[in-house]
Amino acid sequence: MQIGAMFIFLALWLLIWWLGSIAFETTGMERSKARFQALSAFSGTGFTTQEAESVVNHPQRRRIAGYLIFLGNAGIIAFLILLVLYIRAGLVWPSLLLSGIIVAVVLVLMFAFRLGLVDKITNAVLALVRRRDTRSTPFIIHQEGGYAVVRLQVPESARMSGRRVKDIGFVKHDIVILALKRGKKVISLPSMNERLQPQDHLLCYGKPSAMKVFIK
């Protein structure tokens, strides 16, 4: 049972790391970088990279990293305490049935990663989060000095859908559209006569408070 408890502890560790990487992805970070930064923060290794700087300079990512660092350190301490207690009590090898269950779970996880099932589940979770958040909350990519670079998405039911950029009010709110992504097409500095379509992604620059009011 001791080995089984340690295996469950490891499974929870992986689950928290995975959820942390998803949280990073919701801020606009690319998946491989999000997983690397989540692992870095959760394990306390603290790699110094350009992506690490993007975490420090981003309020949402900085908050996520703080939670991961706290949970990672608490988990390491708890694991060491648990290991010392088990060693003092005498480690007992798990039964044949429990050993078989552990091996089966490990094999299932390996196949899930290899077949891309984990990525599919991640995509589903991100779709649910973004479907809720894009209605009221922008995804801040970088924020400094009271201004931010933000990614917005035009929902299906948005009033701005089908309207020209100049008719919506970006200029009034001092918001500059740096780029517009429509499918695989990217339009740099779109004209004021460009008509927005559902699912368009806008890369904007301005004050976060103005963008939140604008979205509402």
Residue 95 has pLDDT above 80, yes or no: no
Residue 134 has pLDDT above 60, yes or no: no
Q: Which pLDDT value is given to residue 137?
A: 47
| C-beta separation of 5 from 82 below 8 A | yes
Question: CB burial class (10 A; 0-12, 13-18, 19+) of residue 155?
Answer: middle
24 lies in the same domain as 76 = yes
183 lies in the same domain as 99 = no
Q: Which pLDDT value is given to residue 136?
A: 42
Picking from 21-25, 76-80, 118-122, 126-130, which range would have the lowest pLDDT averaged per residue?
126-130
pLDDT tens track for 152-168? 777 665 566 678 888 87
| Segment 32-54 mean pLDDT | 76
Residue 179 has pLDDT above 70, yes or no: yes
191 lies in the same domain as 150 = yes
Residue 138 has pLDDT above 60, yes or no: no
72 lies in the same domain as 113 = yes
Q: In which domain, by residue range, is 71 found?
A: 2-131
Q: What is the pTM (predicted TM-score) of this model?
A: 0.56
| Angle (nearest 5°) at CA 25 between 21 and 162 | 160
Name the more confident of 163 and 47: 163
Q: Calculate the average pLDDT of the chain.
A: 78
Q: What amino acid is encoded at 4 in this protein?
A: G
**Number of structural domains in the chain:** 2
| Segment 65-81 mean pLDDT | 85
Picking from 69-73, 75-79, 108-112, 188-192, which range would have the lowest pLDDT averaged per residue?
108-112
- Give alpha helix (H) positions in 44-190: 50-56, 59-89, 96-114, 117-133
Q: Which pLDDT value is given to residue 27?
A: 78
Predicted confidence band of residue 51 (pLDDT cuts 50, 70, 90): low
Residue 196 has pLDDT above 70, yes or no: yes
Q: What amino acid is encoded at 62 in this protein?
A: R
What span, in angstroms and rounded, lies between the C-alpha atoms of 72 and 121? 23
122 lies in the same domain as 41 = yes
114 lies in the same domain as 138 = no
139 lies in the same domain as 198 = yes
| Angle (nearest 5°) at CA 94 between 89 and 96 | 160
Give strand pairing partners of 201: 153, 181
14 lies in the same domain as 45 = yes
State the CB neighbour count (10 A cutoff) for residue 131: 12
115 lies in the same domain as 9 = yes
CATH of residue 189's domain is: 3.30.70.1450
- Identify the residue whose tokens are 């502890």: 9
Residue 93 has pLDDT above 70, yes or no: no
109 lies in the same domain as 204 = no
| Percent of the chain clearing pLDDT 70 (strictly above) | 78
Q: Which pLDDT value is given to residue 78?
A: 82
